[in-house]
Amino acid sequence: MNEYEEILSIVGSAPWYRLTGMTPKVLGDRVVVEMEIDKNKHLQALGTAHGGAIASVLDSAIGLNVNREVIKMGKTAVTAQLNIHYIRPVAEGKIVGVGMPVHIGSKVTVGYGEVRNEDGELIATGTATFYIINRKFKD
């Protein structure tokens, strides 16, 4: 297990990931974040997945892919801003988020991401800005 896979293992067992049911996985040269929509946890009053659940997948997917690069600098990136565009509702099945860095600077980084349903239909897109802190993810 390489250092980044070890970090993903730690991230995947974090309280927020356990609570929401998100699972990070390495897929080729990207990290994806999966969530099975649970009708008892993720739906809002109208019966579709709450925007916050989708936003969590998007933020995590972008952040994990940004951090894949930032940890090489011995630092960590934390979310400063998330912009999301919801494209279509989803009420069941698996959603998958993927992200990528667009710019990595010395203090700020920007990333882009998408969330799709299991049929590959676009659910949401977004960009995120991250502040780079002088702290290693783990010692």
Q: What is the tens place of the pLDDT at every residue in 75-109?
A: 999 999 999 999 999 999 999 999 999 999 999 99
Instruction: Report the pLDDT value the prediction gives residue 138, as an integer from 0 to 100.
Output: 64
CATH topology of domain 3-133: Thiol Ester Dehydrase; Chain A (3.10.129)
Q: What's the Rg (C-alpha) of the chain?
A: 15
pTM of the full structure: 0.93
Q: Can you tell me the mean pLDDT for 64-68?
A: 94
On whether the CB atoms of residues 28 and 59 are closer than 8 A, the answer is no
End-to-end Cα, the chain, rounded Å: 16
